[in-house]
A and B are shown apart, each in its own frame.
Chain A
Amino acid sequence: MFNTKISQKIAFAVLFVSTLITIIPVLIIIAIIIKNGITAISWQFLTTAPSNGMRSGGIFPAIVGTFYLALGASAISLPLGILGGIYLSEYSKNNYFTRILKLGIVNLAGVPSIVYGLFGLSLFVISLKLGVSIVSGCLTLAIMSLPSIITATETAMSSVPRSFREVSLSLGATKWQTIRYAVLPHASPGIITGTLLSNARITGETAPILFTVAAFYLPQLPNSVFDQVMALPYHLYVISTQIPGISKSVTYGTALVLIVFTLSLNLFGIIVRTYLRRQKKW
């Protein structure tokens, strides 16, 4: 009797400590970045271009660049990924072809980001002659985020109970009507969260944009989708490695903006999901 109680307490303690250990680094990172970076944040920092050899001024072009890249990549990857996920979950037959397709998607998710960067360089920049440009960068990022969007969509679709489909079909609805009205509305919270999370991830990526779009310094905003842009992750990388004598608050300030950018995308996803879940009737 005594022994089982003690072992339960030990088990709980171990579980609790493990959880704590996984959370502590995150909290420390955020605390350090806020502590060192908050002094750099000002209206001028957020709205002007870097000056004085990137040591002062702001990071406006990098913020805009990251925003364009996230937007462009989503515009390409969301339709493709969601439609592909719906096909895989609802229409595909469980045959050899589908299994190869699914295996491919799983493997695509495991490809290192630098490989996507080099792939984008050789396909979009050089072969398709799109140049080092926003288009090339968005396409590279889109391909990189596809696997997680497809997987999120597929998982969300298949987590909708089978009975929903059976009832809808038994009432005479077509397969598309069933998917559209009986499955998709219930799967959308999962789809939205999955896609927003994958978007948050690609906004922080450096390797895929390194060769395809990112500029070390480009004070103006792009004129067309064939221009380069500055991007927050790459900007952070170069100011911490290439600029001698830059003040610490500028690098931490940039890191802070990037983290806020990514976290707010995550937060937005969570809010939308909570809102949609509340409307669920099951």
Chain B
Amino acid sequence: MNKRSFCLLAGIAVSLAILTAGCSREKCNSIQIKGSDTMVNLTQAWTEAFTKENPGINISVTGGGSGTGIASFISGNCDIISASRQMTVEEIELAKKNGIEEKEYIAALDGIVVVVNPKNPVSKLTVDQLSDIFMGKIKNWKEVGGNNSSIVILSREINSGTHVFFKEHVLRKGNPKGTEEFSPNALLLPSSQAIADEVAQNSGTIGYYGMGYISPNQKLVAVSKGPKMPFIEPSIDTVKKGSYPISRPLYLYTKKDAPEMVTKFIDFAFSQEGQEIVRKTDFVPVK
């Protein structure tokens, strides 16, 4: 009878566990944060610091993409969305149908700077020129008003969110159906720091990274949206105003009637410590 009684016991144990553990998420002190892969390291860092201060609150962070987070929020399966885009009107309507009203926060900004060696005379480029340079169509600095020397393209690896963002917003100019790719001659470096070091040492290089890595050893390139538009220097100010072209806000969404611990987490994200974490993970603080 051994095996059968074991099976019975196991079955009973499982059903008991399901029945008795029937506490709702709020009661269990757990928060589910879901969404953007770009922001997943930021939300992870927030969570790590937040749970150190509030050890009783159980926070799970899941990536998968902004869309994944929003879909899960609409079906009532997560408490906070991290999103690198705004919720669309349709998505807000869908959530309302399920009795969920959203509250939007802009918790950080994502600004990406283009850098060249300080000795390089080039100091401003249009998005079109950037696109052509990184796709390998413009091969020499003299084509964009620089010295007669060939351009060395530095890029992040494919798994980097910065790589994807740069490809979508500069190479493809925001066209979601674009098929433009980085030049096969681009050197793929494993970290933003590696790009910064390489740009500081080699005069022909051009690279890009999050604003957290700005230093005097590289020259920032002012960027304009089009041929007759003004060239804008990247800075926390111009990214905040939205005038610098290669930037976007990063959102957090909660329910309007969110429980206290959720608002506590949001408050933490906007606190001095939370915004310092934003800076450390290479995004632009909003405060």
In the assembled complex, the CB of B133 is this many whole angstroms from the nearest CB of chain A, namely: 24
CA distance A118 to B30 in the complex (A): 24
A226 touches B60 (CB 8 A): no
Question: Quick one: closest B residue to A191, CB to CB?
Answer: B3
A218 touches B37 (CB 8 A): no
**Residue numbers in A under 8 Å from B18 (CB-CB):** 135, 225
B77 touches A126 (CB 8 A): yes
Interface residues of A in 50-102 (CB under 8 A from B): 51-54, 72, 74-76, 78-79, 82-83
CA distance A188 to B14 in the complex (A): 23
B160 touches A53 (CB 8 A): no
Stretch from B38-46, B85-93, B248-256 that touches the partner: B38-46
A217 touches B72 (CB 8 A): no
**Residue numbers in A under 8 Å from B72 (CB-CB):** 132
In the assembled complex, the CB of B8 is this many whole angstroms from the nearest CB of chain A, namely: 8
In the assembled complex, the CB of A173 is this many whole angstroms from the nearest CB of chain B, namely: 16
In the assembled complex, the CB of A63 is this many whole angstroms from the nearest CB of chain B, namely: 16
Known contacts A218-B59, A220-B58, A225-B21; A53/B45 CB under 8 A: yes
Quick check: is A184 within 8 A (CB to CB) of the other chain? yes
A76 touches B14 (CB 8 A): yes
Q: Which of A82, A184, A245 contacts B191 (CB 8 A)?
A: A245
Q: CB-defined interface of A219-235 with B at 8 Å, one 1/0 digit per residue? A: 11011111110000000
B40, B60, B190, B191: most-surrounded residue (chain A CB, <10 A):
B60
Total number of A-B contacts with CB less than 8 angstroms?
106
**Residue numbers in A under 8 Å from B17 (CB-CB):** 225
Q: CB-defined interface of A239-261 with B at 8 Å, one 1/0 digit per residue? A: 00111110000000000000000
In the assembled complex, the CB of B39 is this many whole angstroms from the nearest CB of chain A, namely: 11
In the assembled complex, the CB of A10 is this many whole angstroms from the nearest CB of chain B, namely: 45
B41 touches A53 (CB 8 A): yes
Q: Which of A52, A79, A245 contacts B10 (CB 8 A)?
A: A79
Quick check: is B273 within 8 A (CB to CB) of the other chain? no
A54, A78, A226: most-surrounded residue (chain B CB, <10 A):
A226
CA distance A188 to B25 in the complex (A): 41
B48 touches A53 (CB 8 A): yes
In the assembled complex, the CB of A282 is this many whole angstroms from the nearest CB of chain B, namely: 20
CA distance A67 to B230 in the complex (A): 58
**Residue numbers in B under 8 Å from A40 (CB-CB):** none
**Residue numbers in A under 8 Å from B59 (CB-CB):** 218-219
Q: Which of A76, A219, A244 contacts B51 (CB 8 A)?
A: A219
B77 touches A228 (CB 8 A): no
**Residue numbers in B under 8 Å from A217 (CB-CB):** 43-44, 47-48, 60-61
Quick check: is B285 within 8 A (CB to CB) of the other chain? no
CA distance A219 to B23 in the complex (A): 20
CA distance A213 to B182 in the complex (A): 36
A245 touches B63 (CB 8 A): no
Quick check: is B28 within 8 A (CB to CB) of the other chain? yes
**Residue numbers in A under 8 Å from B58 (CB-CB):** 218, 220, 222-223, 227
A78 touches B62 (CB 8 A): no
**Residue numbers in A under 8 Å from B28 (CB-CB):** 223-224, 226-227
**Residue numbers in A under 8 Å from B25 (CB-CB):** 131, 226
A-B contact pairs, 15 of them (CB 8 A): A132-B77, A132-B78, A216-B60, A216-B61, A217-B61, A219-B47, A219-B59, A225-B18, A225-B21, A226-B25, A228-B62, A241-B159, A242-B40, A244-B160, A245-B190
Nearest 5 interchain pairs by C-beta: A79-B7, A215-B60, A218-B60, A224-B21, A217-B61
11 further interface pairs, Cβ-Cβ under 8 Å (given A211-B64, A224-B28): A53-B45, A72-B14, A75-B11, A135-B18, A210-B64, A217-B43, A218-B58, A218-B61, A224-B21, A226-B23, A244-B192
